[in-house]
């Protein structure tokens, strides 16, 4: 058995549009933080702490170290993550949209299929015909619950500004094609399923074309689907013959959730 990591990290040093910060409390600083937050938590405890009667000293600990602590301040759309219908809008298919903790777990452990789409250029759309051509090339017919990965190679730009500007988007015709065949989850190795901001915004500002803005995401209001963004290492996968595990982190009332996506061969 071989396990391939298909996930990107939450990295506070990588280029991101939204602010990402990771507060790192060292083993040494953890002693003082423990004293401040735990030993001095109650009024009586705070008094005793200030008087030096209720305090943890570094000399009381093995190697004079406490526990490290990392506090992550990050949108749920940073790192590899699953988007569900609440992200797309307040309703989907005429019903209240579902949040990420409601993603059915049985959808998240299924057979995987990789479709080669590395020929698609930035600002191009991956349309239904591209899906059928890629499936024909590998002689595969989709079945319900297959998890489909669209391989563009854009993950190699991660960490730079080009990661946000140089990748193809997914057309709603491609989404329809997948959903009509029982696919519940599809994934991309790009920053998002819509074309980069620079193309969508230019068309909107130049032509006042509201249809140019996030059509793939907004399509989730019409048809319910789950998609994975920011996959990586899809070139390491065969076209078929692998299992995908993509369980989302259980966060309450969010439109997306981080996931450690892996393939098992």
Tens-digit pLDDT profile for residues 189-201: 999 999 999 999 9
Same domain flag for 106 and 236: yes
Same domain flag for 66 and 103: no
* Residue-range definition of the domain harbouring residue 49: 21-73
Same domain flag for 131 and 186: yes
Asked, for residue 145, whether it belongs to a domain, the answer is: yes
Tens-digit pLDDT profile for residues 136-169: 999 999 999 999 999 999 999 999 999 999 999 9
Q: Write down the pLDDT at residue 57.
A: 83
Give the domain-ending residue among 58, 73, 88. Answer: 73
Specify the range with the lowest mean pLDDT, choosing from 4-8, 97-101, 208-212, 241-245.
208-212
Same domain flag for 69 and 122: no
**Structural domain count of the chain:** 2
Task: Find, among 98, 66, 94, the residue nearest to 82 by Cα.
Answer: 98
Same domain flag for 236 and 131: yes
Same domain flag for 160 and 251: yes
pTM, entire model: 0.92
Asked, for residue 151, whether it belongs to a domain, the answer is: yes
Same domain flag for 235 and 182: yes
Same domain flag for 209 and 91: yes
User: Which of the 8 DSSP states describes residue 17?
Assistant: S
CATH number at residue 130: 3.50.30.50
- Distance, in Å, from the CA atom of 141 to the CA atom of 139, rounded to the nearest integer, reads 7
Same domain flag for 134 and 232: yes
Tens-digit pLDDT profile for residues 219-259: 999 999 999 999 999 999 999 999 999 999 999 999 999 99
Place of tokens 């990965």: 149
Angle at 91 between CA 88 and CA 94, to 5 degrees: 130
Asked, for residue 15, whether it belongs to a domain, the answer is: no
Which residues are registered as beta bridge partners of 113? 148
Same domain flag for 66 and 89: no
Asked, for residue 34, whether it belongs to a domain, the answer is: yes
- Distance, in Å, from the CA atom of 220 to the CA atom of 218, rounded to the nearest integer, reads 5
Angle at 249 between CA 234 and CA 169, to 5 degrees: 40
């Amino acid at each position: 058995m071989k396990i391939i990591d298909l996930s990107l990290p939450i990295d506070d040093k990588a280029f991101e549009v939204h602010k990402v910060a990771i507060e790192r409390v060292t083993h040494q600083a953890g002693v003082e933080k423990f004293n401040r937050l735990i030993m001095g938590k109650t009024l009586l405890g705070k008094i005793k702490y200030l008087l030096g009667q209720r305090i943890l000293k570094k000399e009381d600990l093995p190697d004079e170290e406490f526990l490290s602590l990392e506090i992550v301040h990050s949108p749920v759309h940073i790192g590899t993550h699953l988007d569900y219908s609440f992200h797309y809008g307040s309703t989907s298919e005429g019903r209240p949209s579902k949040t990420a903790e409601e993603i059915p777990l049985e959808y998240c452990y299924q057979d995987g299929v990789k479709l080669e789409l590395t020929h698609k250029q930035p600002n191009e759309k991956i349309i239904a015909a591209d899906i059928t051509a890629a499936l024909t090339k590998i002689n595969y017919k989709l079945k319900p619950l297959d998890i489909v990965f669209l391989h563009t190679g854009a993950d190699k730009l991660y960490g730079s500004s080009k990661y946000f500007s140089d990748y193809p988007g997914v057309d709603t015709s491609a989404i329809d094609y997948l959903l009509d065949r029982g696919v519940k989850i599809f994934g991309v190795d790009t920053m998002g399923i819509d074309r980069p901001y620079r193309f969508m915004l230019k068309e909107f500002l130049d032509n006042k074309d509201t249809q140019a803005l996030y059509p793939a995401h907004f399509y989730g209001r019409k048809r319910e689907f789950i998609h994975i963004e920011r996959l990586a290492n899809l070139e390491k996968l065969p076209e078929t013959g692998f299992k995908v595990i993509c369980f989302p982190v259980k966060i309450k009332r969010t439109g997306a959730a981080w996931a450690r996506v892996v393939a098992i061969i």
